[in-house]
Structure 1
Amino acid sequence: MELRQLNYFVEVARLENFTRAAERLKIAQPALSQQIRNLEQELGVKLFKRIGRGVTLTEPGEQFYIGAEKTLAEAQRAKDSVKEFTNDPHGKIMIGALESLVQTRLPSLLVAFGKEYPGIKVFIRENTTEPLLEDLQKGELDLALGHTLDVTYSPNLVRVVAQTGICSKPLYQDELVLVVAKGHPLEKRKTISIGELREESFVFFKEGSGIRSQLLAACISEGFDPLIAYECASPRTLVAKGLGVSILPRLMAESPGPTVSILPLDPPLSRWVSVFYVEGRYLSPCTKVFLRFVEKYLGSEIEG
Structure 2
Amino acid sequence: MTRSVPLVTIFGGSGFVGRYIARRMARDGWRVRVAVRRPNEAHFVRPYGNVGQVEPVQANIRDEASVARAIAGADAVVNCVGILYPDSRQSFDGVQAEGAGRIARLAKAAGVARMVHISAIGADAQSDSAYARSKAAGEAAVTAAFPEAVILRPSIVFGAEDSFFNRFAAMARMYPVLPLVGGGTKFQPVYVDDVAAAAVKAVDRSTAPGVYELGGPEVETFRALMERMLVLVRRKRPLVSLPMGLARMQAGALGLVETLSLGLVPNRMITVDQVKLLARDNVVSEGAKGFAELGITPTPMGSVLEDYLYAYRPQGQYTEITDSARNLRVQD
Normalising by structure 2, we get a TM-score of: 0.27
Higher strand share: 1
Give the number of the structure whose alpha-carbon radius of gyration is greater: 1
Q: Which structure is richer in relative contact order (CA contacts within 8 A, separation 6 or more)? A: 1
